[in-house]
Amino acid sequence: MNISSILILYKFVVAGFNYDFDEAFEFAEKACQRFDYNVNPAQEIMDNWMKGYWKMSDDEAKVNLLKLKDFVAEGKLLDFPSYYSASVFLFKFCQIIDMTISELLPLFKQGLQKFADNVEVNIGQLTVIKAIGVNNDDVCKPVYDFILKVMEEKIEKQKTADVNLMRELFNNDIQAFIQLFIPNNQTNPMFLMTPVLNLLVEKDIEKKIAEATPNDIMSLYLLVNFRFNNNIAFNSRTEEMPFIKHLEKYASLRSDDKKKLSSFVIHDQLLPLLNKIKNKI
């Protein structure tokens, strides 16, 4: 999509609005840079407005506005920024379809909730939209605020399910557990930048260390080393320190057992690393 054409378009569309154009254009530009748009009927209608709505006849404009309204209400648009863009056009031209902004707002809330129920939302997407922001007097701000609300609620709901998965894997499959944190060539780790290790239950850590195999111990070593030593971008180490303290507490209880290889691995590898991290943080 040609950014310069969007610039002209937005200036024309928002003429007469109490509207911060620079904010809106920055939003549209960043959205285009970060989100892939796959063609679907709803997005085609959206593109008709974004790429040159003046090419439509009066009758076509009314039909397409009504279609866009319905797609919004049904949650059919492709991503969250598209709902904000749709509000710009629908609010500006609402009289063409004999509606008011106050009548359209519930349709946006309805559609955004439906859309959020059927997509995954991550912290990165939320951070991008939060960083852009919209002025308080922006006529489209209620839509923007509701976008943030449904994204935050979805992330919180997903986090609860993800934390439960993390706890289950910690208890039953250490190899799968560490893949939630350490990058590999196939998937992006679920918790690469999210502090959650502090949410592990102490009694589960005690039980896991008590029954850990040598390979389990080295897997924990790899996790701790990457998480607290090598992942420079991760800045929530202090928040996860309870995990380190509990790990050290129960690892120390096994370190002097000379009849098990796992105890040697704890003594020679894991404990020195845990002590180093405690002293550093």
CB contact at 8 A, 200 and 129 = no
Which whole-number Å values give the CA distances from 205 to 124, 230, 237, 243, in the listed order? 30, 23, 18, 8
**Element at 9 (helix H, strand E):** helix 3-13
- Non-local CB neighbours of 55 within 8 Å, separated by 6+ positions: none
Q: Write out pLDDT tens, residues 57-107.
A: 999 999 999 999 999 999 999 899 999 999 999 999 999 999 999 999 999
Q: In the predicted model, is pLDDT for residue 1 greater than 90?
A: no
DSSP-assigned letters across all residues of 133-187? ---TT-TTHHHHHHHHHHHHHHHHHHHHHHHHHHHHHHHH-HHHHHTTTS--SS-
Average pLDDT of span 109-120: 95
Which of 119, 129, 86 lies closest to 104 in space, CA to CA? 86
Average pLDDT of span 105-128: 91
Place of tokens 């003046």: 54
Average pLDDT of span 118-128: 85
Give the least confident one: 194-198, 213-217, 277-281. Answer: 277-281
Q: Please state at what angle helix 21-34 crosses helix 123-132, rounded to 10 degrees.
A: 160
Structure confidence at residue 158 (pLDDT):
87
Average pLDDT of span 42-52: 88
Q: Please state at what angle helix 141-172 crosses helix 101-117, rounded to 10 degrees.
A: 10
Structure confidence at residue 80 (pLDDT):
92
Q: Please state at what angle helix 80-92 crosses helix 123-132, rounded to 10 degrees.
A: 40
CB contact at 8 A, 222 and 175 = no
Structure confidence at residue 88 (pLDDT):
93
Structure confidence at residue 129 (pLDDT):
84
Structure confidence at residue 27 (pLDDT):
61
User: In the numeric block, which tokens belong to residue 252?
Assistant: 């120390």
Which of 181, 162, 187, 266 lies closest to 229 in space, CA to CA? 181
Which of 214, 274, 221, 273 lies closest to 249 in space, CA to CA? 274
Which whole-number Å values give the CA distances from 51 to 3, 42, 44, 64, 98, in the listed order? 10, 14, 10, 14, 24
Give the least confident one: 116-125, 161-170, 171-180, 244-253. Answer: 116-125
| pLDDT top residue among 7 and 65 | 65
Q: Write out pLDDT tens, residues 23-34.
A: 655 565 555 554
128-137 burial, b at 16+ Cβ within 10 Å, e below that, comes to bbeebebeee
Structure confidence at residue 267 (pLDDT):
95
Each domain of the chain, given as residue ranges in start order, spans 3-34, 41-160, 180-279
Structure confidence at residue 277 (pLDDT):
92
Structure confidence at residue 137 (pLDDT):
86
Question: Which 8-state DSSP code applies to residue 16?
Answer: T
Give the least confident one: 80-94, 129-143, 197-211, 248-262. Answer: 129-143
CA separation for the pair 208, 174 (Å, rounded):
9
Q: In the predicted model, is pLDDT for residue 117 greater than 90?
A: yes
Residue 276 burial (10 A CB sphere; 0-12, 13-18, 19+): middle
| pLDDT top residue among 216 and 236 | 216
CB contact at 8 A, 142 and 160 = no
Cβ atoms within 10 Å, residue 263: 19
Q: Write out pLDDT tens, residues 239-265.
A: 999 999 999 999 999 988 889 999 999
Most confident of 65-74, 133-142, 225-234: 65-74
